[in-house]
């Protein structure tokens, strides 16, 4: 069977099992196992060999069972980066690109800024900032050993020098960085326990601790930020769509120039605030 015909049949199978974007999913999986792009996929006239057919069929079943597509292909695109992804590490989302945009805007006028990304996961936010601001010193932290290993691998893959440290929030950072950060940025776990139960199966296949947290981590970051940021340094965080007012209030207790910023869909997505003079 030609790949083009296989895509059609696979898309119908995925759709019957309730998988979103069934045709795009079938194409992505088949391109992955054939090692080709979309043009090469549809130009191909040969069928699949037995081994590839078996791997592809297994991946279709896994996708129907709720395994995220990115865990099957091992790749996720984020801004200009193609990032390696593995099970057990949070998959970066397109909406988090808004967090990076706000972070970069916040440090646009600062030469050679010092930046820390908390809860880095794959390293997506830290690497996107470093790619856009090569002269910046960028560090990243994560409590997960798997995430720290993966972020370091993605850093090496793209030749972007980001120092990745394992530990809770800012605790693994060198003490001499206190009071010197120009930007503290984070996409923390912000889904509530109640919301978690309603999430699609494929989202719940990702690590619980990378998803669920409400505004607890936001509150902890606000408490830590004044001691770690330079005066006028920025704390920039991603939030859930209904958390704008609550996180804004947390920020206003300790920071100035607090803003709730929207994503492209018009939903609250990012909150930022600036450290006060000491």
Residues marked active site are found at 90, 187-188
Give 32-53 as a DSSP string.
HHHT--HHHHHH--S---HHHH
* Torsion sign (Cα): 40, 42, 43, 45: positive
Count the Cβ atoms, other than its own, within 10 Å of residue 4. 14
Rounded CA-CA distance 19/67 in Å is 11
Beta strands in 48-125 (DSSP E): 75-78, 81-84, 114-118
Please tell me the distance from the alpha carbon of residue 161 to that of residue 195, in angstroms, as a whole number: 36
Q: How many residues does the chain have?
A: 278
CA angle 208, 211, 215 (to 5 degrees): 125
């Amino acid at each position: 069977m030609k790949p083009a015909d296989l895509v059609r049949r696979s898309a119908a199978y995925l759709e019957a099992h309730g998988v979103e974007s069934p045709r795009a999913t079938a194409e992505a999986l088949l391109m992955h196992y054939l090692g080709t792009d979309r043009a090469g996929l549809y130009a191909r006239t040969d069928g699949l060999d037995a081994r590839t057919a078996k791997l592809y069929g297994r991946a279709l079943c896994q996708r129907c069972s709720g395994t995220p597509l990115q865990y099957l292909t091992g790749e996720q695109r984020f801004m200009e980066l193609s990032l390696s992804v593995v099970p057990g590490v949070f998959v970066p989302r397109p909406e988090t690109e808004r967090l990076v945009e706000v972070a970069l805007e916040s440090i646009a006028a600062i030469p050679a800024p010092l930046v820390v990304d908390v809860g880095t996961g794959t390293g997506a936010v830290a690497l996107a900032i470093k790619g856009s601001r090569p002269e910046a010193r960028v560090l990243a932290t994560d409590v997960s050993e798997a995430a720290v290993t993966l972020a370091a691998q993605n850093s090496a893959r793209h030749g972007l020098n980001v120092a990745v440290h394992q530990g809770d929030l800012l605790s693994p950072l060198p003490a001499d960085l206190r009071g010197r950060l120009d930007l503290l940025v984070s996409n923390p776990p912000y889904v509530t326990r109640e919301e978690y139960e309603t999430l699609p199966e494929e989202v719940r296949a990702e690590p619980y601790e990378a998803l669920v947290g409400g505004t607890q981590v936001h509150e902890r970051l606000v408490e830590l930020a004044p001691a770690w940021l330079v005066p006028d340094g920025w704390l920039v965080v991603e939030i859930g769509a209904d958390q704008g007012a609550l996180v804004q209030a947390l920020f206003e207790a300790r920071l100035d120039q607090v803003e709730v910023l929207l994503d492209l869909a018009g939903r609250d997505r990012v909150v930022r605030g600036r450290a006060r003079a000491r």
